[in-house]
């Protein structure tokens, strides 16, 4: 079954997204308990003044570091605008700004419009938690080109991610996660192995990154965003947050309501859920999205079944069969039930993957697993060696090799949440998850053990997002969203406060709305960010159908 990141992470699935950069130095601020020039130790007030007075040294971006995902240096935009990268110093602990400090990785593309029309910077967080914004923004920039008429496009690696003091949990002593059954249903040994894996991973995180683990939570990252705002010279923070980025944006609005500028939250996380409730909601969200796919497939004469119910049942049966007897594939590996879940969950993030998913499932049902395996690999859910999540998780044999997205996801999630579930807790709730989704429910239920034994206690069930007095925040909810179910947008609006959360509904499929390319959504979001015009109350955008023949 999929790991917590494979389904829960809200990083957008785009093969073009991992293009960006690492960083260059900027003007130093108070660093690791630095002393002032007069020989005295800097006070918190003096340290904050130094942090806010930085002037980033923007340079051409090199290729992204392996910890950011690797790849080539980002190419200039079509109008010739080059990507620029820098580092920014921030307190490791915002409660003790005169103490140790850390680097934050930044990237930007300058506005293409006239200086007189420029609003400021538009800061992006694309989700996760754990995704490198520095590596992601260049690949997605074409989607936001219209916004560059009035904004510099800016993103960053949040603390604990990529080139911002990356968390590392990799350890040669840990087993490969593909050797551990994420859904222990075959005796006490499987459960003991899963519990031990989570416990040992937590211990490895503490050994390798114990100095940073207490400080990677969303609240501290929101304070970093306000520092970025100040250093970039903006009076207000203009912000575009997607998936987990909506939680980060809500936390910022709570801390700094008077500094919120034009903000859009797309693919909205439900701020009322603890981690178990979130996982249960996602099980239902993925199930609903798969049923939508099945209905679409049935309309086109899907070989899996004559109607949606039969297609869903056939897929569940296929997953169970592959769990018992994996299907050999042409590269010498095997297609198992985990691979099927990886491919299906990944394909539900974008509706334009549905035609390929249909072909892949039909082929697998006919004992040809190559297409399904290829799909899982193309969506980044499985690495080239066939191991779950190997394309994203660092190699356990070398902690310096590979993206730290998986480790950062665990660290940020566990720092944000005080929930520490046991195997008994999961067993008690497992029937609910199975009712929500026999396909996705078990993996999401057992993912609740990820924070067991975590060395940091966690802060609360969820970061606080109430923001009375803030200006309107545009919330975009997608009725078919598998990872952040539609109901979360209304609950975020309620929690932000009266007159703050303003909803736009997208009746579509996939995760998020703006990056689906829907013209109605883009027009509404662009109008707010560029001109300050909110859509009419109760506004609804309808999905554009897939082209005929797909």
Q: Which residues are catalytic?
A: 243, 481, 511
Q: If DSSP states are collapsed to H, E and C, what string results for 477-522?
A: EEEECCCCCCHHHHHHHHHHCCCCEEEEEEEEECCCCHHHCCHHHH
In the block, tokens 């293409």 appear at 112
User: Within 13 Å and on the Cβ side, how many CA atoms surround 214?
Assistant: 11
Residue 94 DSSP code: T
Cα–Cα distance measured from residue 286 to residue 344, given in angstroms and rounded to the nearest whole number: 9
∠378-216-205 over CA atoms, to 5°?
75
**16, 69 contact by CB (below 8 A):** no
CA-closest candidate to residue 250, choices 264, 232, 235, 233: 264
Distance, CA of 260 to CA of 238 (rounded, Å): 7
Alpha-carbon span 441 to 183, nearest angstrom: 10
DSSP bridge partners of 157 = 105
Instruction: Dump the DSSP string for 39-76.
Output: SSBPPHHHHHHHHHT-----EE--PPPGGGT--PPPPP
Residue 531: phi and psi, rounded to 5, are -125, -5
């Amino acid at each position: 079954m999929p790991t917590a990141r494979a389904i829960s992470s809200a990083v957008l699935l785009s093969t073009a997204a991992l293009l960006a950069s690492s960083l260059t130095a900027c003007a130093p601020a108070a660093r690791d308990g630095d002393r002032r020039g007069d020989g005295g130790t800097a006070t918190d007030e003096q340290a904050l003044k130094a942090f806010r007075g930085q002037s980033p040294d923007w340079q051409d971006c090199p290729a992204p570091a392996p910890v950011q995902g690797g790849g080539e240096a980002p190419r200039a935009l079509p109008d010739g605008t080059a990507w620029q990268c820098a580092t920014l110093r921030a307190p490791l602990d915002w409660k003790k700004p005169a103490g140790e400090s850390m680097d934050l990785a930044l990237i930007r593309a300058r506005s293409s419009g006239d200086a007189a029309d420029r609003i400021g910077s538009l800061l992006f967080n694309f989700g996760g938690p754990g995704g490198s914004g520095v590596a992601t923004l260049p690949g997605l920039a074409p989607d936001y080109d219209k916004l560059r008429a009035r904004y510099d496009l800016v993103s960053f690696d949040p603390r604990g991610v990529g080139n911002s003091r990356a968390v590392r949990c990799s350890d040669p002593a840990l087993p490969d996660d593909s050797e551990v059954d994420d859904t222990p249903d075959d005796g006490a040994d499987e459960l003991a192995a899963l519990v031990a894996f989570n416990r040992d991973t937590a211990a490895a995180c503490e050994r390798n990154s114990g100095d940073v683990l207490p400080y990677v939570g969303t609240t501290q990252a929101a304070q970093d965003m306000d520092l970025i705002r100040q250093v970039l010279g903006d009076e207000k923070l203009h912000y575009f947050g997607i998936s987990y980025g909506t939680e980060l944006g809500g936390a910022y609005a709570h801390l700094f309501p008077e500094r919120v500028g034009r903000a859009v939250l797309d693919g909205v996380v439900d701020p009322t859920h603890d981690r178990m409730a979130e996982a249960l909601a996602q099980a239902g969200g993925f199930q609903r999205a798969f049923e939508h796919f099945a209905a679409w497939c049935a309309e086109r004469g899907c070989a899996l079944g004559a109607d949606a119910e039969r297609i869903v049942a056939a897929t569940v049966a296929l997953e169970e069969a592959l769990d018992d007897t994996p299907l050999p594939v042409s590269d010498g590996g095997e297609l198992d039930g985990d691979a099927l879940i990886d491919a299906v969950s990944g394909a539900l993030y974008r509706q334009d993957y549905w035609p390929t998913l249909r072909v892949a499932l039909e082929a697998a049902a006919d004992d040809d697993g190559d297409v399904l395996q290829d799909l899982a690999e193309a969506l980044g859910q499985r690495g080239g060696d066939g191991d779950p999540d190997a394309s994203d998780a660092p190699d356990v044999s070398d902690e310096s090799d590979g993206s730290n997205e998986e480790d950062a996801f665990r660290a940020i999630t566990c720092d944000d949440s005080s929930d520490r579930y046991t195997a008994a807790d999961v067993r008690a709730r497992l029937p609910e998850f199975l009712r929500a989704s026999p396909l996705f429910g078990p993996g999401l239920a057992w993912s609740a053990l990820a924070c067991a034994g975590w060395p940091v206690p966690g802060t609360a069930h969820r970061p606080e997002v109430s923001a009375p007095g803030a200006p309107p925040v545009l919330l975009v909810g997608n009725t078919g969203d598998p990872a952040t179910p539609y109901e979360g947008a209304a609950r975020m609006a309620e929690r932000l406060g009266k007159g703050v959360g303003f909803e736009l509904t997208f009746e579509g499929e996939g995760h998020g709305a703006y990056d689906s390319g829907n013209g109605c959504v883009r027009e509404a979001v662009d109008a707010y960010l560029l001109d300050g015009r909110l859509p009419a109350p109760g506004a609804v955008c309808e999905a554009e159908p897939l082209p005929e023949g797909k």
